[in-house]
Amino acid sequence: MATPSRSLPRAARGRSRRERLATWGLTLAGLLAVAITLTIIALFVHGSLPFLRTVPLGEFLGGTRWAPIHEPAGYGILPLIGATLVTTGIALGVAVPLGLLAAVFLSAYAPSPVRRVLKPALELLAGVPTVVYGFFALRFVTPLLQGFIPSLGFWNGLSAGLVMGVMIIPYMASLSEDVLYAVPRSLWEGAYALGATRFEAVTRVVIPAALSGIGAAFILALTRAVGETMIVALAAGRTPTWPPDPRQPLLTLTTAIVNIATGDHEATAFIWSAVFAIGLLLFLTTLVLNTVSYLVIQRFREKYA
Amino acid sequence: MSEHVAPPVLSTRKFSLWYGSHQAVIEVDLDIAERQITAIIGPSGCGKSTLIRAFNRLNDLIPGVRTAGQILFRGEPLYGRGVDPVEVRRRIGMVFQKPNPFPKSVFENVAFGLRINGFRGDLKAKVEEALARAALLDEVKGDLHRKTGYDLSGGQQQRLCIARALAVDPEVLLMDEPCSALDPIATAKIEDLIRELASSVTVVIVTHNMQQAARVSDYTAFMLLGELVECGPTRELFTRPKDSRTEAYITGRFG
């Protein structure tokens, strides 16, 4: 017999140290993203303090006149929020149905060669620079629409929203298609075996099963629309109006920031603070919309497996 | 087969099926007797699942599938011109190898087939009747709307799938290895259930488990490499197989 062995073989020192290092490194990487987000929020809160201390919150959130560099100044944010909701609403009105239909077609109807060609082509739409979209809206869509709506302004929220909708179709379609395509074959077969048509199988079994992913696509599209700047800056104009009329020029939250940041007026520290306040509000708007969508989706999703 | 006088519900006539260039079913002639249980047995890859999926035209969904010969459903060609596979599948139900409940409530799972087929009448009563026929009602009665298919155990899920199929009153129930994902107790329950169902519906069951075929079926068909080797009353096939390959398989010399 050999000498009694030393219980269990000890882990090589270097190896376990590497393992610990990897754990720490990865944890740090994961926390970094959260830390950056929190830092941004903190900076925005800090930056907007001078503004929020001076302008009563009621006037800021409830006011309908936005004129920070005029005399007398108006600091009501409602025209900006209204404009953002109008353009976002129009954009989602275009992107959600079209994106979802495209996703259903690609995942359930298109023969696989068609799918292989069409899906990347659709995703290409997301790669078009937004300035191109903006110019397209201003110089092509608006004149086209003026043929039907004579009262449509040179700058207006309608064509900006429509073109923005086209821009976010791929976000809606591509992500939805992924989740629809991932619904197990067995659910399709279960529906078919009961005498469902393809349309019934898609609408009653496959889409509900994929709803949480479709909801994620919706949230992404929503966030892109709320945050989109270039298209609205070019095509929707820069006039804060209340109540917002999609046929007229609008000033969204994002373009209000652009306006101040690129204006040739003398930007005082106070006005910069107003920009921070708008930024904070933009951030909170996105957060609230995301949370609400998430909760709605949780309520209606059907979980498989 | 002289024991049953009624015409067969389903009969295949030199039925062949190809996946692309691979022939999975080769000139099969098989009769499925009404309100009897027919088991199709054979080793993996013998074409038994393919054949059963031809009975409700589920193979149509796979690109590159081609058929030759005929399957008659109550005398009418199942693959004939103008036959709507959707209608076929309503009349010929199916239960799959792995339970595949929809991610909906137990009630909605069973109501699904009724809803899409425009059922008018007492939906609740019909759903409960189907659940009762599948011997599941007592276990889920209080939770019809609260539990989803995925909250049930594997055996319950499979009985839910059976209830779902029964709800639309199919004339034939196809079962593709319905117990292969279940434990022995759940399997025994399903087997009892299948025996009971045979009084009201024609059952075709594919199984790789010969004991199961011997336990539940009235007729057994043995397939090998895409061909139907032998078919007959179960007792006969298992005790006095006519073909030496059948004998070799049932005595466990291969497969």
Query: Nearest residue on chain A to B169, judged by CA atoms?
Result: A194
Cβ B93–A193 below 8 Å, yes or no? yes
Give the distance from residue A297's alpha carbon to the nearest chain B alpha carbon, in angstroms: 15
pLDDT at B255 over 70: no
pLDDT at B86 over 80: yes
Rounded Cα gap, residues A208 and B108, in angstroms: 13
Owner of token pair 């759903």: B127
pLDDT at B3 over 60: no
Give the distance from residue A186's alpha carbon to the nearest chain B alpha carbon, in angstroms: 6
CA angle A197, B175, B240 (to 5 degrees): 145
Domain ranges of chain B: 35-53+85-250
At B1 the pLDDT is 46
Q: What is the ipTM of this complex?
A: 0.93
Region B138-146: mean pLDDT is 93
Nearest to B89 among A112, A195, A302 (CB): A195
For chains A and B, count residue pairs whose Cβ atoms are closer than 8 Å: 78
Fold of B35-53+85-250: Rossmann fold (3.40.50)
Region B193-216: mean pLDDT is 94
Give the distance from residue A95's alpha carbon to the nearest chain B alpha carbon, in angstroms: 27
Q: In what order do the strands lie in the sheet with B76-77?
A: B22-32, B10-19, B65-73, B76-77
**DSSP notation for B150-178:** GGS-HHHHHHHHHHHHHTT--SEEEEEST
Owner of token pair 């790789």: B208
pLDDT at B139 over 70: yes
Could you tell me the pLDDT band of residue B5, with boundaries at 50, 70 and 90? low
At A3 the pLDDT is 59
Residues 205-264 of A with CB under 8 A from B: 205, 208-209
Which chain A positions have a beta carbon within 8 Å of B87's beta carbon?
195
At A11 the pLDDT is 65
Dihedral over Cα of B232, B236, B239, B240: its sign: negative
At A264 the pLDDT is 67
Reading chain A (305 residues) residue by residue, the pLDDT tens digits are 555 656 777 666 778 889 999 999 999 999 998 999 899 889 999 999 999 999 999 999 999 999 888 888 889 999 999 999 999 999 999 999 999 999 999 999 999 899 999 999 998 888 899 999 999 999 999 999 999 999 999 999 999 999 999 999 999 999 999 999 999 999 999 999 999 999 999 999 999 999 888 988 998 899 999 999 999 999 999 899 989 999 999 999 999 999 888 876 666 888 889 999 999 988 888 888 888 888 887 777 777 75
Tens digit of pLDDT for each residue in B37-73?
Answer: 999 999 998 999 999 999 999 998 888 999 999 999 9
Query: Nearest residue on chain B to A184, judged by CA atoms?
Result: B100
At A213 the pLDDT is 86
Which 3 state secondary structure label does DSSP give A98?
Answer: helix
